[in-house]
Amino acid sequence: MNNYKVKFAGVSMSVPDKVLTNADLEKMVDTSDEWIRTRTGMVERRITDENTAASDLSYKAIEKLFKTVDIKQKDIDLIIVATISPDHLFPSTACILQKKLGLPPVPAFDLSAGCTGFIYAVTIAKRFIECGMSKNALVIGVELLTKITDWTDRNTCVLFGDGAGAAILTKAKKGEISEIVDTYINADGKYGDLLYMPAGGSRMPATTYTVKKNLHTLRMEGNKIFKAAVKAMGDAAVTILQRNGLTGEDIDWLIPHQANLRIIDATARRIKLPPQKVIINIEKYGNTSSATIPMAFAEAVEDGRIRRGDMVLLDAFGAGFTWGSVLLRY
């Protein structure tokens, strides 16, 4: 059994141009800029047009990505797309991307783990490369949540946005400092009904009734999710640090899932990380589910905050419930 070291070769992001501000939302539902800012930290989010799907936004991030890495498109031999808003239920968005990229037959699949999707996808891609099954994995977190949002529900419609993040994982060379040190994933299906989309699957296929009742949109019991997220994201951070003999002091950057600024602050406090070491972009993009982490990662690499050799902790919580963390030296 091989046990190659695996690293992030690069990471990039893409968002649609159209901005939806808190002021815009004030005109749509009974809400206020003040409520949204103080309760969530969000100021604006991006929203796609009706012709754009998950694979389109992902493709833009991938095009950018290949300009920043010395790996060729033709050398990708695994595609994993983490999403709960794919182009279609099937075929997978990963297969659609494989076609768009003109790649020969390689394993390609989607993964549904809610907002923890990118952490799950990195975990799986790492294992594929470690054991020698793959050399260069394209790992994507993409969501067009505004397409499954109930725009009459102020409890949810102010929270979500669209975006894509793409990364390439590859074998680290001997002696190289960059490496994914460890990954941790977990789930508890007991709480599935606190955050879900009622219709559109085999439980409740599309009918005129489901469409009339707006059942093809996301439902969330925000307050219960909030409490669970604070605990699970803190636990995921502590678990991965402890089992690697580290503390918050060893971390250069925390990249948390961007669902709520108060959840992010609580997670940083739990591992005693000062706010200047936390990557936050929730004010610009809102909650883009599985895309928040690769998007925030990409922005921080692009603007030079995260540099090669930095110790980075990724940490997420989402529908399922799912939660998990990744510890890496970039």
Instruction: Quote the distance between the C-alpha of residue 243 and its chain's center.
Output: 24
Q: Which is nearer to ligand UT7, 60 or 154 (CB)?
A: 154
Token pair 């990409």 is found at 298
Q: Which residue is nearest to ligand UT7 (CB)?
A: 222
Q: Which is nearer to ligand UT7, 14 or 322 (CB)?
A: 322
Active site residue 95: no
Stretch that binds ligand UT7, among 35-43, 47-55, 58-66, 90-98 (CB under 6 A): 35-43
* Residue among 14, 48, 188 nearest 113 (CA): 188
Please report, as residue ranges, which positions from 196 to 215 form the binding site for ligand UT7 (by CB under 6 A). Answer: none
Please report, as residue ranges, which positions from 112 to 131 form the binding site for ligand UT7 (by CB under 6 A). Answer: 115
The only residue of 191, 222, 265, 266 in contact with ligand UT7, by rule CB under 6 A? 222
Q: How many residues does the chain have?
A: 330
Instruction: Name the 3-class secondary structure at 287.
Output: strand
Contact 166, 97 (CB under 8 A): no
For ligand UT7 (CB under 6 A), the number of binding residues is: 19
Q: Does 259 bind ligand UT7 (CB under 6 A)?
A: yes
Q: Does 39 bind ligand UT7 (CB under 6 A)?
A: yes
Q: Which is nearer to ligand UT7, 78 or 326 (CB)?
A: 326
- Phi, psi of 313, rounded to the nearest 5 degrees: -120, 120
Alpha helices (H) along the chain: 22-26, 33-40, 54-66, 93-100, 117-130, 154-157, 208-212, 222-242, 261-270, 282-285, 292-302
CA angle 309, 311, 313 (to 5 degrees): 145
Token pair 């948390």 is found at 256
Which residues in 94-178 belong to E strands, given as ranges? 108-111, 136-144, 162-171
The upper half-sphere exposure of residue 150, i.e. CA atoms within 13 Å in the direction of its Cβ, equals 20
The only residue of 31, 73, 210, 214 in contact with ligand UT7, by rule CB under 6 A? 31
CB of 35 to ligand UT7, least distance (A): 4
Contact 239, 298 (CB under 8 A): no
- Phi, psi of 195, rounded to the nearest 5 degrees: -150, 105
The only residue of 260, 267, 281, 325 in contact with ligand UT7, by rule CB under 6 A? 260
| From 22, 115, 136, 157, active-site residue | 115
Active site residue 257: yes
Instruction: Name the 3-class secondary structure at 18.
Output: coil
Q: Does 154 bind ligand UT7 (CB under 6 A)?
A: yes
- The binding track of 157-196 with respect to ligand UT7, each residue x by CB under 6 A or -, is -x--------------------------------------
CB of 96 to ligand UT7, least distance (A): 25
Q: Does 14 bind ligand UT7 (CB under 6 A)?
A: no
Q: Does 234 bind ligand UT7 (CB under 6 A)?
A: no
Backbone angle region of 92, left / alpha / beta, with phi > 0 → left and psi within -120 to 50 → alpha? beta
Stretch that binds ligand UT7, among 87-95, 104-112, 123-131, 222-230 (CB under 6 A): 222-230
Footprint of ligand UT7 (CB under 6 A): 31, 35, 39-40, 115, 154-155, 158, 222-223, 225-226, 229, 259-260, 263, 287, 289, 318
The catalytic residues are 115, 257, 287
